Amino acid sequence: MIGISTYGNRPEHLVPVAKHAESLGFGGVWVGEHILQPMDYESIHPYDHGKERPLVVTSNRTMYDAWVAVSAMLAATERLKVTTGIYLLPLRHPVLTARAAITAHQVSGGRFRLGVGSGWWKEEFENVGVPFGERAARYDEALRVLPGLMAGEVVENAGPHYPFKKLKLVDEPATVPIIFGGVKPRALQRAATMGDGWYGPMVTPEESIAIKRDIERLRAASGRTNPFAYEARVRGEPTYESLSQYRDAGFDTLVIPWETVQFEHGFDMTLDQKYRRMDALAKALRLKP
């Protein structure tokens, strides 16, 4: 499957872009997330490769609420898969996340997938009252209860971050795939032992393929045999031939980042410019409507 990451789009363009992507034969869209832009921050992006200055993540990018975006795009399409890529799981209570994910799954006929990550932007956490130092513990605690909540089990949790008494969210299991981001050892361990897939950052093909091998080793060591999707964000101008390295390595999905889609016009592309650019990509990648 070939998909598009929509991060960087104006909110009013999200639905038209999703509908056009579906009409061209793209199989899915990935919805990135940041809730806010701190005016002063010192955090370094994990893929900033040692630059001295903090990476400006949201300049020239209009932010939006992930759940509203997911719902709108699912409602406007019929076949397109919609994935949060990635949703900042430690910023929310897992019961609320599970409820939203279940509903997205139900209203779309199973086309929603929950891509999750722990987050990296300290100042973003602080501005919504979540201690940044607790994010890993909150992430792991949420992951412990999410599968049961979405499976319709009776779940209780002693905490310490999200304590709740016995409850149930759904009668019929919502088989929402959980896709993990991240490249650090703990992130890969989580993906291998708890996930239904891994969504990689925009690194080289060689780096993505090496990470895939690491995850496969971890899955084999833990005895995991469930279906698992390997999904890479590709770098550079994609062509059918240039993506062969990923295909040969067994990647299930290749995602074209919006940084690639927007090309020479920057983030101020008109909708018509976006359509033409997507048309050209679909042709180059030999997609079929």
Domain count, the chain: 1
Does 57 score more than 60 pLDDT?
no
Compute the Cα dihedral for 76, 81, 86, 90 and give only its sign: positive
Kindly state whether residue 238 falls inside one of the protein's structural domains: yes
Kindly state whether residue 131 falls inside one of the protein's structural domains: yes
Kindly state whether residue 137 falls inside one of the protein's structural domains: yes
Compute the distance between CA of residue 124 and CA of residue 11 in angstroms, rounded to an integer.
Answer: 20
Compute the distance between CA of residue 113 and CA of residue 176 in angstroms, rounded to an integer.
Answer: 6
Per-residue model confidence (pLDDT) at position 51:
46
Task: Please write the tens of the pLDDT for every residue from 215-269.
Answer: 999 999 999 999 999 999 998 889 999 999 999 999 999 999 887 777 666 667 8
Greater pLDDT, 126 or 60: 126
The structure's pTM equals: 0.90
Q: Which range marks the domain in which residue 62 is found?
A: 2-284
The CATH number given to whatever domain includes residue 214 is 3.20.20.30
Kindly state whether residue 255 falls inside one of the protein's structural domains: yes
Q: What is the four-CA torsion angle of 148, 199, 277, 240, rounded to 10 degrees?
A: -120
CB atoms within 10 A of CB 241: 8
Kindly state whether residue 289 falls inside one of the protein's structural domains: no
Task: Please write the tens of the pLDDT for every residue from 112-160.
Answer: 999 999 887 888 889 999 999 999 999 999 999 999 999 999 999 999 9
Kindly state whether residue 50 falls inside one of the protein's structural domains: yes
CA distances from 61 to 6, 35, 176, 208 (A): 11, 12, 28, 26
